[in-house]
Structure 1
Amino acid sequence: MARGRYPRERQGGWATRSDLLTLTTPTLDTVHLPADLRRLQPEELRTLADELRQATIHAVSKTGGHLGAGLGVVELTVALHYVYDTPADKLIWDVGHQCYPHKILTGRRDRIETLRQGGGLSGFTKRDESEYDPFGAAHSSTSISAGLGMAVARDLSDGDNHVVAVIGDGAMSAGMAYEALNNAGAMHSRLTVILNDNDMSIAPPVGAMSAYLSRLLSSKQYMGLREFGRGIAERFPKRLERAMEKWEEYARGFVTGGTLFEEMGFYYIGPIDGHNLDHLLPVLKNVRNAKDAGPVLIHVVTQKGKGYDPAEQSADKYHGVAKFDVVTGTQKKGKPNAPAYTKVFGRTLSKLAEADDKIVAITAAMPSGTGVDIFQETHPTRSFDVGIAEQHGVTFAAGLAAEGYKPFAAIYSTFLQRAYDQVVHDVAIQSLPVRFAIDRAGYVGADGQTHCGAFDVAYLSCLPNFIVMAPSDEAELAAMVATQVGIDDRPSAVRYPRGEGVGVEMPEHPAPLEIGKGRIVRQGAKGARGAVAILSLGNRLQDALAAADRLGARGLVTTVADARFVKPLDGDLIRQLAESHDLLMVIEEASIGGFGSHVLDFLARNDLMKGLAVRPMAMPDRFLDQDKPEEQVRLAGLDADAIVATALDALGIDAGDRGNSDDKDAPARA
């Protein structure tokens, strides 16, 4: 490839650097909604796709986000909206990180540069954002199940619209996708599933012959002949009927590779070139016009990052990117002030594994997102990526633990929710020492509601036999990982946030913590205006310390404690704080029902609430949209300002009253 040129996928054409610098989209400018797209001539769609690809690149260069997946489905997006009558026909994108071109074509181009920002467009499909998003998604493997539900609802309502679910090959590694295929194949509801094969290479190379076969197999004549043959076969004995069906399935499977899907009850078409509109359009039209085809699976082969050289050359095809320079592809990442929690976990575990050959690491298709890739570099035979299969991953870890190994299951907080039954049944009930490393705990910024780790504290701390920890900084995380290595009689979990640590000095050899013991970070004394104790869990400690400074300026002497453990609860620490302070505040960046609930239960059971004001502070009972993490924390009422305001209100002190330590009218502990 000549330097300074990028493929444009127009026959015989290339995109130059000047094309990338100057966004000129005359055809795309005429398309505001898919109805406008359908007024174009087929030969104009190639130009539209080229312009749509460039518009996507320019938008993501300014906002950051998911790029490679969207670039890979540009032609498919154009073809689907051209052939199907959206939004009456339902188009469901699995995961949703490939939906940026779809958003541009469905009336959101004027807002596309607000992607993943506060008050802007979501980075995923979202029902309340557009009628062209019939189903919201950000976690994978839901599209076929949702599509089947919509198809059955249509049939029950005597409707006639089409339902199309687009699922990537990575999402097909999740069991839920196969459960849905199995269910859909047993029905005769008209449902079209498009398998976007962009990574796994589960099919032979796509060429003219396979494209011809796909057009043939999807043609009205062939599908009509197939139905005619089935009608004839039904007149024969069942054994012969089934034999004829099997012959037809295997004959097509021999040349197309579709036997697996045929066995599940789908009519398989493919593979076809997902970047060739001359191949896509006739196949989609044939399938659309086949009224009695039942469930159909179209196997489309695409290239992630297609049409943008930096993405094509990148190992992850620019799956997720920061803001970047359009011409060079250089991402504009800020210089970190401290190591990211994810890297601290990966490095700590890797180092501990040098001295303990029983340590193994498990991830569910997120090696770099969880730090397992760091572990894998030094311990490749003890690192396992199970794919998007958290349920399997947890029970796989339980099996390893049952045989004396020390598995660390590194899974995002929201992804672990998928495997909750396995956590309960296969791990907790058997008290197996699986170590959970729960990344993305708390607010996650641009990924918004769907990736916010709100519920792990509540859903794990209610389980018998569990140890649950949360570090207040990166050094504490390293110590907690070391602690987990030594826990061999029950499961444990450490939950930590996305992003960088706070900049503390890292220990060369982290020492394990005493199980169930917190620490006093700043000791206050009972003052004339009442004494405040702030008991913080996890990453709220820095705001708690800042709030203590400001309360101290008002004459309120404040103790700050770091809980470290949700379970087992440090009863001695809580008793000490309760008996020597007028106000006990409990802060956590997690949902109600978690740490604060355990503290309140302890106080009530031990008769420690007499004369004590208690204020638990947790996430509000609502989902917050994407925004900067610090803004999400502010909106949730969990920052230093909110802590100060809550303390003053609890003590009956007006926010404007700066007061002094000699205030005789201040409340005191009874």
Structure 2
Amino acid sequence: MADKPSTPLLDTVNSPAELRALPREDLRQLADELRSEMIDAVSVTGGHLGAGLGVVELTVALHTVFDTPHDRIIWDVGHQAYPHKILTGRRDRMRTLRQKDGLSGFTRRAESEYDPFGAGHSSTSISAGLGMAVASDHLGTPRNVIAVIGDGAMSAGMAYEAMNNAGAMDARLIVVLNDNDMSIAPPTGALRTYLAKLVSGPVYRGTREAAKAVVQKLPPFLHEPARKTEEFARSFFTGGTLFEELGFYYVGPLDGHNLDDLLPILENVRDAGAGPILVHVVTKKGKGYAPAENSADKYHGVSKFNVITGAQAKAPSNAPSYTSVFAETLIQEARDDERIVAVTAAMPSGTGLDKFAELFPNRIYDVGIAEQHAVTFAAGMATEGMKPFCAIYSTFLQRAYDQVVHDVAIQGLPVRFAIDRAGYVGADGPTHAGNYDNAYLGAIPGIVQMAAADEAELRHMVATAAAYDAGPIAFRYPRGDGMGVDMPERGAILPIGKGRIVRQGGTIALLSYGTRLGEVLAAADRLAALGLNPTVADARFLKPLDEELIARLAATHDVVISTEEGGLGGFGSHVATFLAANGLLDGKTRFRPLMIPDRFVEHASQADMYAEAGLDRTGIVNTALTTLGYDQAAMTAALAKI
């Protein structure tokens, strides 16, 4: 690792107020030091790198021009906000980023008064900012509200819904479009910067308002031609027609790394008065760090890395990741079936579909950060006989719940949902935890739900989904590597709604749904050492439940314990409902569901999170002994033997 960077100017800045006290000529040096500090901090903890590097100058400019925290800056997506965290009193904790009890990787209201709105998912800032602006008007508290939206977030419909509403309300809202991928209209030198300064300034705006007054005195039939002439003249240079149509005053595009341009333009915008304004800023993802500039995808989110070489650390593993197993298996199936297509919502590499795209470039569709559209788009393909695999993280599929219900399930369409990042995700915390799909999909009639116990089971479930045409089918799998089991060459088609006995025993039945199976088997070994030889079953399916298997376990065991990587209302709830409805809890059998607790759990390692939930081997053993009636003394004595 390189030595910690020298940051003499940044060392004097512990708050935006101190930043605003600096001479303007010092801000370039401050930005350079801020960039070096961020690179060094993220090299220690891992996290999101490229997006934050791209907004260093913009962050400095915003906190210089606006009176934060009285003025509100909302970062969308929140992973752009690392430089903002450093400048707002959290620099001394940056090397705890995404660690247990450390700083969040996203903005959080509970973390700082400078974070007015939490953001883990994208495309929410304009809606939230509009709400803040309207509330400020109602309360008679004048303030600027700035929504910084970028990193693809403008591809989501919610952003345009909010802009449409803001334009109609003529609300005082500033939207900064951080265009860091493909510019709508890239800047090409001094002329564009000059025009941005011009149209943001009081002279132009005053002239424009005066012209509007003159137009009002013209005959009505000339009003619309005059408006379109002015709009065309400006949009010819600025490309702002779309935003103008939505009711925003458009400024830009401008170089987001040039403080000499950013500062006066933002000052003009700040002083412009009422009405929504959009400032189009073009930045480079990974700016100032060559490895991140040259590989924006690879350095979007990173593990710990060497600052000098850019090499990222990765723990050695003999097992493939679940994501790669999904992708490789889908490729196998797609080679044999030309109707198989893949859909992703701006996550081709995160879902492993970049590998699919290399082989089948005409059979993959990246729809942008638009999960609702992705699901209905897939439904449309399914109506015509295609076999769409919609690969979306569990936490992001929540955003498309209505579409899953109305556009897929009610119509019985065979859309395949590959649900990545199921269960706890570790350092990304509660905004990204995939805790709810067991419950929210389990409430939908007619859907098939599967959870892979290991990477071999995932291969079977991909094959099963490819063969299933009777309606929607979903399979879930976690973040990280598999268990290292032997892998079949091809996936086998599983009988729908049938689980399997993994280990036969008595007294206690451990019924696993998902990849807790490894911990369940380890718990079974500990219990066997105490003379309690449990049965271990892999449910495989939540819907339809293997009712025959569950009834047999309840009839032949004193205790049945279910485990799942999901929250209340999921697998355990379905098992309990079946047992109660069929009178199977009226005798000696005691049922205990183990699940993710009904609260938001802060970021930590996945292992720590599951241990806290009682879903590791120790927690499972403790639950078994407690249910069997062991008191604390007996439990302590028993556990001392293993």
Give me the TM-score of the superposition, normalised by structure 1.
Answer: 0.93
Q: Where does residue 129 of structure 2 map in the other structure?
A: 147
Name structure 2 gaps, 5 residues minimum: none
Shift of 1:245: 2.3
Q: Measured at CA, do residues 658 and 299 of structure 1 come closer, stay the same or move farther in structure 2, by a change above 3 Å?
A: closer
1:436-515 correspondence to structure 2 within 5 Å: 436-515=417-496
Q: Measured at CA, do residues 409 and 433 of structure 1 come closer, stay the same or move farther in structure 2, by a change above 3 Å?
A: same
Between the aligned partners of 1:186 and 1:121, the Cα distance in structure 2 is 38
Shift of 1:159: 1.7
Question: Which string of whole-angstrom CA distances, capped at 9 and with x for unpartnered residues, describes residues 73-131 of structure 1?
Answer: 00000000000000000000001111100000000000000001000000000000000
Q: Where does residue 117 of structure 2 map in the other structure?
A: 135
Shift of 1:409: 0.2
Q: CA RMSD in A?
A: 1.5
Of 621, 626, 650, the residue aligned with 2:598 is 621
Contact 1:164 1:193 in 2 (8 A): yes
Q: Measured at CA, do residues 232 and 473 of structure 1 come closer, stay the same or move farther in structure 2, by a change above 3 Å?
A: same
Corresponding letter in the other structure for 1:373: D
Matched, 1:234 2:216: yes
Question: Which string of whole-angstrom CA distances, capped at 9 and with x for unpartnered residues, describes residues 260-283 of structure 1?
Answer: 101111000001000000100000
1:360-439 correspondence to structure 2 within 5 Å: 360-439=341-420
Shift of 1:399: 0.8
Shift of 1:371: 1.2
Q: Measured at CA, do residues 477 and 235 of structure 1 come closer, stay the same or move farther in structure 2, by a change above 3 Å?
A: same
Contact 1:206 1:271 in 2 (8 A): no
Between the aligned partners of 1:206 and 1:76, the Cα distance in structure 2 is 19
Shift of 1:658: 6.5
Contact 2:16 2:87 in 1 (8 A): yes
Contact 2:187 2:255 in 1 (8 A): no
Task: Return 545-554 or 423-432, whichever deviates more.
Answer: 545-554
Q: Secondary structure at 1:179's aligned position in 2? A: helix
Shift of 1:352: 1.0
1:120-199 correspondence to structure 2 within 5 Å: 120-168=102-150, 170-199=152-181
Corresponding letter in the other structure for 1:342: T
Of 96, 103, 106, the residue aligned with 1:114 is 96
Contact 1:196 1:301 in 2 (8 A): yes
- Give aligned pairs, total: 637
Between the aligned partners of 1:89 and 1:494, the Cα distance in structure 2 is 45
Q: Secondary structure at 1:414's aligned position in 2? A: helix
Shift of 1:628: 0.4
Shift of 1:358: 0.8
Name structure 1 gaps, 5 residues minimum: 1-16, 526-530, 662-670
Between the aligned partners of 1:602 and 1:255, the Cα distance in structure 2 is 66
Shift of 1:413: 0.2
Between the aligned partners of 2:477 and 2:414, the Cα distance in structure 1 is 19
Q: Secondary structure at 2:626's aligned position in 1? A: helix
Question: Which string of whole-angstrom CA distances, capped at 9 and with x for unpartnered residues, describes residues 414-453 of structure 1?
Answer: 1001111110001000000000000000000110001100
Q: Secondary structure at 1:421's aligned position in 2? A: helix
Matched, 1:635 2:612: yes
Q: Where does residue 524 of structure 2 map in the other structure?
A: 548
Contact 2:460 2:491 in 1 (8 A): yes
Of 36, 43, 68, the residue aligned with 1:54 is 36
Between the aligned partners of 1:241 and 1:36, the Cα distance in structure 2 is 49
Between the aligned partners of 2:553 and 2:538, the Cα distance in structure 1 is 12
Between the aligned partners of 2:482 and 2:593, the Cα distance in structure 1 is 25
Between the aligned partners of 1:401 and 1:40, the Cα distance in structure 2 is 59
Of 566, 570, 575, the residue aligned with 2:542 is 566
Question: Which string of whole-angstrom CA distances, capped at 9 and with x for unpartnered residues, describes residues 7-38 of structure 1?
Answer: xxxxxxxxxx9xx6441111100100000000
Between the aligned partners of 1:613 and 1:188, the Cα distance in structure 2 is 61
Question: Which string of whole-angstrom CA distances, capped at 9 and with x for unpartnered residues, describes residues 18-64 of structure 1?
Answer: xx644111110010000000000110100000000000000001011
Q: Where does residue 75 of structure 1 map in the other structure?
A: 57
Between the aligned partners of 1:229 and 1:201, the Cα distance in structure 2 is 31
Q: Where does residue 207 of structure 1 map in the other structure?
A: 189
Contact 1:106 1:132 in 2 (8 A): yes
Between the aligned partners of 1:426 and 1:432, the Cα distance in structure 2 is 8
Question: Which string of whole-angstrom CA distances, capped at 9 and with x for unpartnered residues, describes residues 510-547 of structure 1?
Answer: 1111110001111003xxxxx11111100111111111
Corresponding letter in the other structure for 1:547: A
Give me the TM-score of the superposition, normalised by structure 2.
Answer: 0.97
Corresponding letter in the other structure for 2:574: H
Corresponding letter in the other structure for 1:365: A
Shift of 1:640: 1.2
Shift of 1:169: 5.0
Between the aligned partners of 1:480 and 1:549, the Cα distance in structure 2 is 27
Q: Secondary structure at 1:124's aligned position in 2? A: coil
Percent identical among aligned pairs is 65
Contact 1:398 1:426 in 2 (8 A): yes
Of 511, 521, 529, the residue aligned with 1:535 is 511
Q: Secondary structure at 1:514's aligned position in 2? A: coil
Question: Which string of whole-angstrom CA distances, capped at 9 and with x for unpartnered residues, describes residues 625-663 of structure 1?
Answer: 1110000101112111111111111111134437999xx
Contact 1:21 1:326 in 2 (8 A): no
Shift of 1:174: 0.7
Q: Where does residue 559 of structure 2 map in the other structure?
A: 583
Matched, 1:314 2:295: yes
Question: Which string of whole-angstrom CA distances, capped at 9 and with x for unpartnered residues, describes residues 282-324 of structure 1?
Answer: 00000101123x0000000111111111111115261111111
Between the aligned partners of 1:420 and 1:118, the Cα distance in structure 2 is 31
Between the aligned partners of 2:184 and 2:435, the Cα distance in structure 1 is 36
Q: Where does residue 103 of structure 1 map in the other structure?
A: 85
Q: Secondary structure at 2:596's aligned position in 1? A: coil
Contact 2:285 2:296 in 1 (8 A): no
Q: Measured at CA, do residues 285 and 445 of structure 1 come closer, stay the same or move farther in structure 2, by a change above 3 Å?
A: same
Shift of 1:158: 1.5
Between the aligned partners of 1:481 and 1:96, the Cα distance in structure 2 is 33
